[in-house]
A and B are shown apart, each in its own frame.
Chain A
Amino acid sequence: MGLTLKVWRQKNTKAQGGFETYQVKDISSEMSFLEMFDVLNERLINEGKEPIAFDHDCREGICGMCSMHINGRAHGPWAGTTTCQLHMRAFKDGDTITVEPWRAEAFPVLKDLTVDRGAFDRIIESGGFISVNTGNAVDANAIPIPKDKADAAFAAAACIGCGACVAACKNSSAMLFVSAKVSQLAQLPQGEPERATRALNMVAQMDKEGFGSCTNTGACEAECPKEISLTNIARLNREFIRAGFTYEK
């Protein structure tokens, strides 16, 4: 198939960016979206032009590195799918596809479609862990965890930290990301001792990084490639309020 691509090009964080238009042809429906970009970049190199910079690594939907806003949707048209797993079957001959980087104040553009998501790491640093040093663990079966709790914790833990929730949100809120980690750990007995401080500290860091507020629109859930549920945000709100009432410091 042949396609028209409108791609955001930006030299660096400080430079003014803008759309460039490219025509690509002979795209097979079996290609992944990023392989289509590989084809375009190979051509740009052969023409002596600079290829488009974009983040990607595992190309199997789990590392969370790829991050393209495609036709106004984070990771493109398929539900529950990262950009690297989106395949060209999703498009048809003659389509025009607009590709942008994640748009959020807390995710500055570094170059073209590459953004800086360091804010997510700093949120995890503020409390997204259980404080257990190596060598301090009891036998793994010493603390049974009901299967439904373990499954719910796993479902929240499936977050890949890609930032699609932020990109999809009209307020650039990071609530789905933060709630996924808080939910995972709040539902496990191991997470209990730091339950209150975790919720308070992670929300405080999220605000500090410049993410917006949550208005329960649900765009994050709709666009999340791992289908992290909005109920995690409800749980985060409960955890946060609970912590506010019970935390004594």
Chain B
Amino acid sequence: MLDAKIPAGQLNSKWEDYKGHCKLVNPANKRSLEIIIVGTGLAGASAAASLGELGYKVKAFCFQDSARRAHSIAAQGGINAAKNYQNDGDSVFRLFYDTVKGGDYRSRESNVHRLAEVSANIIDQCVAQGVPFAREYGGLLSNRSFGGTQVQRTFYAAGQTGQQLLLGAYSALERQVALGNVTLYTRHEMLDIVKIDGKARGIIARDLTTGKLERHFGHAVLLCSGGYGNVFYLSTNAMGSNVTAAWKATKKGAYFGNPCFTQTHPTCIPVSGDHQSKLTLMSESLRNDGRIWVPKKQNDTRKPSDIPEDERDYYLERRYPAFGNLVPRDVASRAAKERCGAGYGVGTSKQAVYLDFAANMERYGKIEAGKRGLHNPTPDQIRQLGKEVVVEKYGNLLDMLAKITGEDPYEVPLRIYPAVHYTMGGLWVDYELMTTVPGLYALGEANFSDHGANRLGASALMQGLADGYFVIPYTIGNYLADEIRTKAIPTDHPAFVEAEKQAQETLDRLMNIKGSKSVDHFHKRLGKIMWEKCGMARNEQGLKEAIEEIKALRAEFWKDVRIPGEANEINPELEKAGRVADFLELGELMCLDALNRRESCGGHFREESQTEEGEALRDDANFAYVAAWEYKGDSTYELHKEALVFEECKPTQRSYK
């Protein structure tokens, strides 16, 4: 059994006790301690800024041309915090409870409670940085609701919350760069972890402009490299999002936790054709004001406006009257898949459902008309006034939708379908966010810890910033306090030489295959296997087939991939090839984990384990554990378990009815 090093004591005092007793590093010693941070999204940028402020020597790496481009920037809807500004009954405990329940009782209580405790500090910090959250006329902060909760605790900046939070963290980071505390390496990709005497001591990075390999020493290494949703090829992730940093760490001894826990987001724009390179999400906040429906008749080809109200099936409101359109993402996604599978889907592909603003536009229009003293407004006036309200709330999202689909979202209902969005699994970390390799940490989406088997909306931003601003500054000191006697290790140490040699050999091997098919060709085929057999629904036979198919595909990749150009220049195909090579290994482990977990929970739906009504059926007696996989060589992994103990939230069948 794995030991997560959870502090003893009452759940609500663990973090306070930890902070009061963890080791500290004095300012003079901090100046000679070096920390490497891979990734500059919310977790990486906030960690780099905070650790730089403390006086550590920080080196931060990102593969994009600027730290501001990390994919946290694309998060739309908002960030949760237990501020209870709305006086609607929220509290730290409620946020904690909602998150554990939303994660279908597969997350670690102590981590989630800490997350809820620091959530309020995040909002304070961001406002102090100048993050322009939405405000009410009185000048105070505005909130909205999100799926899986019954309070309004989500802070937002139109549909660009991630952008504003990341730019806040990015400017804090750039300030530390100017002060000389952080050195930033843009257009650099980490290719390996360097371990000396069992501890993480540095990385090998490739300068993507010159193709040169570089060695960088650090007393500790933080991986803030995001999730692995791109293993599905089509996802809402950025094109460059990848698992390489986390995967190289896995091969160096860090265990990978719950790899099969992936999230499909219910409100994305459906696939339009084979050329599709990525999928675009429409914020979950749209479900606040949009009603989801399909026709009551199968294969109904009428225009949505021609389908009368009583021939529409608002299936979420019907099945889940308590939460309605605001059920958690996994529930909403599966319900859409079920309707489409049963023949009620809409659009040319029949793989879509409607999200309709008409009812709420009319309601808002009437309210606005009342406010303006219009006593007998015409239907057109109501429509126009209602549209203005919707534009203010979601304008930028609906404009984006119009560009992609060519339809006017204010006139016709949106067509949506689930798409891969987030990965709850990731590197296994203990309470201090340290992986099983001493000195190697994982923060944000790159770790597995806080979201269990399903993440609630507006919780990813919260976790990334909690880890970076408020957790790691304490926990890393507890490790580095024992490292103050360790001098910087010169990078001509044999461990660095060997790691660089191996990275170079992998690059040479890829360049020398000179096969016949592009990297994307293999990536698309992998994505298809994953989506069909390890996607929204999984079963034993499919998973077993998928493992064999992935093995065969990987062998073919290493024989037949074609990478044009040279290794010593900007070469996007070579970058992609390295990432896809890692996805081809991770995909197999995901299927293995999904096969092992013979229960349904959250986003992981095993067809063999469901209730009579088709809801996910957990098996707490046998699977209330984190599956942490140790790499043992080609296609060989050993399963370690961390038992999940629930002291405060007693696991029950999740009900949103």
Q: Are B67 and A121 in contact (CB under 8 A)?
A: yes
Which residues of chain A come closer than 8 Å to B167, judged between CB atoms?
A: 157
Distance of A170 Cα from B576 Cα, bound (Å): 36
Q: Are B275 and A126 in contact (CB under 8 A)?
A: no
A143 to chain B, nearest CB (A): 8
Q: Are A153 and B518 in contact (CB under 8 A)?
A: no
Is A210 located at the chain interface by the 8 A CB criterion? no
Distance of A12 Cα from B126 Cα, bound (Å): 40
Is A116 located at the chain interface by the 8 A CB criterion? yes
Distance of A13 Cα from B85 Cα, bound (Å): 53
Which residues of chain B come closer than 8 Å to A28, judged between CB atoms?
A: 273, 275
Closest residue to A78 on the B side, CB-wise?
B403
Distance of A28 Cα from B276 Cα, bound (Å): 11
Distance of A151 Cα from B136 Cα, bound (Å): 10
Q: Are A59 and B277 in contact (CB under 8 A)?
A: yes
Is A105 located at the chain interface by the 8 A CB criterion? no
Q: Are A190 and B129 in contact (CB under 8 A)?
A: yes
A218 to chain B, nearest CB (A): 22
Q: Are A34 and B277 in contact (CB under 8 A)?
A: yes
| Given A116-B65, A126-B178, CB of A57 within 8 Å of CB of B403 | no
Distance of A117 Cα from B124 Cα, bound (Å): 31
A140 to chain B, nearest CB (A): 4
Which of A57, A62, A135 is in CB contact (< 8 Å) with B239? A57
Closest residue to B50 on the A side, CB-wise?
A134
Q: Are B121 and A117 in contact (CB under 8 A)?
A: no
Within 8 A of B (CB), among A5-40: 11-12, 28-32, 34-35, 38-39
Distance of A134 Cα from B127 Cα, bound (Å): 12
Q: Are A137 and B125 in contact (CB under 8 A)?
A: yes
Is B108 located at the chain interface by the 8 A CB criterion? no
| Given A31-B275, A136-B128, CB of A58 within 8 Å of CB of B400 | no
Which residues of chain B come closer than 8 Å to A118, judged between CB atoms?
A: 65-66, 186
Is A91 located at the chain interface by the 8 A CB criterion? no
Q: Mark B63-93, 1 if CB is under 8 A from A, else 0.
A: 0111111110110000000010100000000
Is A215 located at the chain interface by the 8 A CB criterion? no
B568 to chain A, nearest CB (A): 10
Identify which of B46, B135, B520 gathers the most chain A CB atoms within 10 Å of its CB.
B135
**Size of the chain A interface, CB-CB below 8 angstroms:** 81
Is A111 located at the chain interface by the 8 A CB criterion? yes
Q: Are B127 and A190 in contact (CB under 8 A)?
A: yes
Q: Mark A132-168, 1 if CB is under 8 A from B, else 0.
A: 1111111111011111001101100110110000000
Q: Are B71 and A63 in contact (CB under 8 A)?
A: yes
Is A204 located at the chain interface by the 8 A CB criterion? no
Q: Are A129 and B172 in contact (CB under 8 A)?
A: yes
Distance of A180 Cα from B522 Cα, bound (Å): 42
Is A89 located at the chain interface by the 8 A CB criterion? yes
**Size of the chain B interface, CB-CB below 8 angstroms:** 84
Is B641 located at the chain interface by the 8 A CB criterion? no
B282 to chain A, nearest CB (A): 10
Q: Are B238 and A49 in contact (CB under 8 A)?
A: no
Stretch at the interface among B97-105, B158-166, B353-361, B383-391: B158-166
Q: Are B139 and A125 in contact (CB under 8 A)?
A: no
Which residues of chain A come closer than 8 Å to B68, judged between CB atoms?
A: 64, 121, 161
Q: Are B175 and A131 in contact (CB under 8 A)?
A: yes
Q: Are A147 and B406 in contact (CB under 8 A)?
A: no
Q: Are A42 and B518 in contact (CB under 8 A)?
A: yes
Distance of A115 Cα from B536 Cα, bound (Å): 40
Distance of A130 Cα from B128 Cα, bound (Å): 8
Q: Are B565 and A50 in contact (CB under 8 A)?
A: yes
B250 to chain A, nearest CB (A): 24
B73 to chain A, nearest CB (A): 5
Distance of A188 Cα from B131 Cα, bound (Å): 9
Is B321 located at the chain interface by the 8 A CB criterion? no
The SS class assigned to the A binding surface is loop
| Given A30-B272, A140-B123, A161-B66, CB of A62 within 8 Å of CB of B139 | no
| Given A45-B564, A87-B404, CB of A114 within 8 Å of CB of B275 | no
Which residues of chain A come closer than 8 Å to B400, judged between CB atoms?
A: 60-61, 85
Is A246 located at the chain interface by the 8 A CB criterion? no
Q: Are B129 and A141 in contact (CB under 8 A)?
A: no
Q: Mark B517-555, 1 if CB is under 8 A from A, else 0.
A: 010110000000000000000000000000000000000
Is A101 located at the chain interface by the 8 A CB criterion? no
Is B209 located at the chain interface by the 8 A CB criterion? yes
Which of A44, A117, A129 is in CB contact (< 8 Å) with B175? A129
Is B198 located at the chain interface by the 8 A CB criterion? no
B518 to chain A, nearest CB (A): 5
Which residues of chain A come closer than 8 Å to B162, judged between CB atoms?
A: 62
A181 to chain B, nearest CB (A): 8
Is A77 located at the chain interface by the 8 A CB criterion? no
Q: Are A140 and B469 in contact (CB under 8 A)?
A: no
Which residues of chain B come closer than 8 Å to A209, judged between CB atoms?
A: none
Which residues of chain A come closer than 8 Å to B121, judged between CB atoms?
A: 135, 137
Which of A110, A114, A132 is in CB contact (< 8 Å) with B129? A132
Distance of A87 Cα from B269 Cα, bound (Å): 15
Identify which of A57, A78, A131 gathers the most chain B CB atoms within 10 Å of its CB.
A57
Q: Mark B273-284, 1 if CB is under 8 A from A, else 0.
A: 101111011000
Which residues of chain B come closer than 8 Å to A29, judged between CB atoms?
A: 406
Distance of A63 Cα from B297 Cα, bound (Å): 42
Which residues of chain B come closer than 8 Å to A141, judged between CB atoms?
A: 83, 85, 140-141
A189 to chain B, nearest CB (A): 10
Distance of A35 Cα from B134 Cα, bound (Å): 34
Which residues of chain A come closer than 8 Å to B127, judged between CB atoms?
A: 137, 140, 143, 190
Which residues of chain B come closer than 8 Å to A116, judged between CB atoms?
A: 65
Distance of A1 Cα from B573 Cα, bound (Å): 27
Q: Are A157 and B69 in contact (CB under 8 A)?
A: no
Which residues of chain A come closer than 8 Å to B518, judged between CB atoms?
A: 42, 45-46
Q: Mark B153-191, 1 if CB is under 8 A from A, else 0.
A: 000011010111001001110110110000010100000
Closest residue to A38 on the B side, CB-wise?
B277
Which residues of chain B come closer than 8 Å to A117, judged between CB atoms?
A: 65-66
Which of B126, B275, B473 is in CB contact (< 8 Å) with A38? B275
Q: Are A85 and B404 in contact (CB under 8 A)?
A: yes
Closest residue to B269 on the A side, CB-wise?
A60
Q: Are A144 and B562 in contact (CB under 8 A)?
A: no
Distance of A124 Cα from B66 Cα, bound (Å): 11
Distance of A30 Cα from B571 Cα, bound (Å): 28
Q: Are A62 and B160 in contact (CB under 8 A)?
A: yes
Q: Are B132 and A157 in contact (CB under 8 A)?
A: yes
Distance of A145 Cα from B170 Cα, bound (Å): 23
Distance of A132 Cα from B138 Cα, bound (Å): 25
Which residues of chain B come closer than 8 Å to A64, judged between CB atoms?
A: 66, 68-69
Q: Are A63 and B73 in contact (CB under 8 A)?
A: yes
Q: Are B278 and A134 in contact (CB under 8 A)?
A: no
Q: Would you give 23 A-B contacts (Cβ < 8 Å), ordered by A?
A: A28-B273, A30-B272, A35-B275, A42-B518, A45-B518, A45-B564, A57-B240, A58-B69, A59-B239, A59-B277, A62-B162, A64-B66, A87-B403, A110-B570, A126-B178, A130-B129, A133-B53, A136-B128, A147-B136, A154-B164, A161-B68, A184-B130, A184-B132
**7 interchain residue pairs of minimum CB distance:** A144-B139, A129-B171, A137-B128, A137-B124, A154-B132, A125-B178, A140-B127
B residues near A (Cβ < 8 Å) are 46, 49-50, 53, 64-71, 73-74, 83, 85, 121, 123-130, 132-141, 157-158, 160, 162-164, 167, 170-172, 174-175, 177-178, 184, 186, 209, 236, 238-240, 272-273, 275-278, 280-281, 399-400, 403-404, 406, 469-470, 473, 516, 518, 520-521, 562, 564-565, 569-573
